[in-house]
Amino acid sequence: MADFFNGWWSVAISVVVILSIAACGLLLWSQSKVKVKLGPNGKPLPAETTGHVWDGTLMEQNNPLPRWWMWLFYLTIVYAIGYLVVYPGLGSFQGGFGWSQASAYEKEIKEGEQQYGPIFNKFLNMDVAAVAKDPQAHEIGQRLFLNTCAQCHGSDAQGGNGYPNLADNDWLYGGDPATIKMSIMEGRHGQMPPMAAAVGTDDDVRNVANYVLSLSDSAHDPVKAALGKPKFMACAACHGAEGKGTQALGAPNLTDKIWLYGGGVDNIMETINKGRNNQMPGQKALLGDAKVHLLAAYVWGLSNNTTAHLTPAETGAMTYIANATVGNSDAAGTNVVK
């Protein structure tokens, strides 16, 4: 794509912009030649009409453009030329001021870091459990979560179909502070390959699904579950012989009635037949160490029943700090922190 937008496009855009401005000027100049026609007595003649008539007497007249209106358009042309001299607009020309969206964004981020960096760094040097109990840290962490994580995990952090609940104690990769920080910074890529071929026939897949449900004492067919137990050995390499999962692999615990994609027979059969391929993007580049530390403390606190409260004035201040120092995340994807 970068090769497609080469130097030729810069020239083409510049030509289009210059011709557009010149065409507007030429149109105004041509219309300025149209004068009001005067009669022998020096008084204006009746205006010509375009021939369009409505309601019997409502006619569309062809009058010259008002001079004040035309001069306003001339001023817009002068303004456009001045703008193109000092700001980008002619292809790759950066303008006399050298302004760009990227430089303006970087300047704002730098100013924000200078102003609020000490606040974040103060919490970076604190233990995660202590940060989670601090009212100001809790509020900043909440705003960071709403800006960065709520798109997938929900504003209440309870997730949804395919998006883990962060407010309970069930974790795919572990719920200790260090693991949560690693998940946020580096992201996670959870992948389960299709297992239908390894399990056997469609009936075997259904039997395994019933056996999986039996592990958590969910509603199932006991006969089919008994038939599916030997076939479950194809899944034991990741989920363990007892189905309790393996956090090192991100393999879910199948014995706790917590389901990422639903706990019915059809849901589990779909997972076995098609597999799952989920990805949570890493946030290290967007947030940095200090903000990740605050965010990890907030997430850790959700499942460890820590509470923190702010006054309304403090809430407003912390909301501004969080929003002023965090950009919008465009890294959409299926999160698998837990």
pLDDT of 338 reads 42
Based on the domain organization, do 17 and 74 belong to the same domain? Answer: yes
The mean per-residue pLDDT over the stretch 168-194 comes to 94
pLDDT of 152 reads 93
The full 3-state SS of the chain, as one line of letters, equals CCCCCCHHHHHHHHHHHHHHHHHHHHHHHHHHCCCCCECCCCCECCCCEEEEEECCCEEEECCCCCHHHHHHHHHHHHHHHHHHHHCCCCCCCCCCCCCCHHHHHHHHHHHHHHHHHHHHHHHHCCCHHHHHHCHHHHHHHHHHHHHHCHHHHCCCCCCECCECCCCCCCCCCCCCHHHHHHHHHHCEEEEECCCHHHHCCHHHHHHHHHHHHHHCCCCCCHHHHHHHCHHHHHCHHHHCCCCCCECCCCECCCCCCCCCCCCCHHHHHHHHHHCEEEEECCCHHHHHHHHHHHHHHHHHHHCCCCCCCCCHHHHHHHHHHHHHCCCCCCCCCCCCCC
pLDDT tens-digit map of 210-237? 999 999 999 999 999 999 999 999 999 9
Tokens of 105: 């964004």
Distance (Å, rounded) from C-alpha 271 to C-alpha 41?
93
pLDDT of 321 reads 45
Based on the domain organization, do 156 and 211 belong to the same domain? Answer: no
Domain presence at residue 92: no
Out of 86, 120, 151, a domain closes at 86
The mean per-residue pLDDT over the stretch 249-275 comes to 94
- pLDDT above 50: residue 17: yes
Tokens of 23: 């065409």
Based on the domain organization, do 181 and 314 belong to the same domain? Answer: yes
pTM, entire model: 0.66
The distance between the two most distant Cα atoms of the chain, rounded to a whole number of Å, is 111
Based on the domain organization, do 265 and 285 belong to the same domain? Answer: no
Distance (Å, rounded) from C-alpha 146 to C-alpha 156?
9
Report residue 5's pLDDT band, with 50, 70 and 90 as the boundaries. Answer: low
Out of 233, 254, 274, a domain closes at 274
Domain tally, the chain? 3
pLDDT of 329 reads 35
Domain presence at residue 133: yes
Based on the domain organization, do 169 and 207 belong to the same domain? Answer: no
Based on the domain organization, do 183 and 111 belong to the same domain? Answer: yes
Distance (Å, rounded) from C-alpha 158 to C-alpha 138?
17
Where is average pLDDT lowest: 127-131, 189-193, 313-317? 313-317
Of 204, 199, 146, the C-alpha closest to 329 is: 146
pLDDT of 313 reads 42
Distance (Å, rounded) from C-alpha 310 to C-alpha 318?
9
Q: Is-contact 219 213, C-beta < 8 A? A: yes
pLDDT tens-digit map of 79-103? 999 999 999 888 888 888 888 888 8
What range does the domain containing 22 cover? Answer: 7-86
Residue 211 sits in a domain whose CATH number is: 1.10.760.10
Q: Would strands 49-54 and 58-61 be described as parallel, antiparallel, or unpaired?
A: antiparallel
Distance (Å, rounded) from C-alpha 242 to C-alpha 172?
16
pLDDT of 6 reads 65
Based on the domain organization, do 125 and 199 belong to the same domain? Answer: no
pLDDT of 3 reads 55
pLDDT of 156 reads 93
Residue the block writes with tokens 């970068």: 2
- pLDDT above 90: residue 157: yes
Of 322, 267, 332, the C-alpha closest to 116 is: 322
Based on the domain organization, do 212 and 199 belong to the same domain? Answer: yes
pLDDT tens-digit map of 34-81? 777 777 776 777 777 777 888 877 888 777 788 888 899 999 999 999
Based on the domain organization, do 137 and 175 belong to the same domain? Answer: yes
Q: What does each C-alpha distance from 336 to 93, 128, 146 come to in angstroms?
A: 44, 21, 17
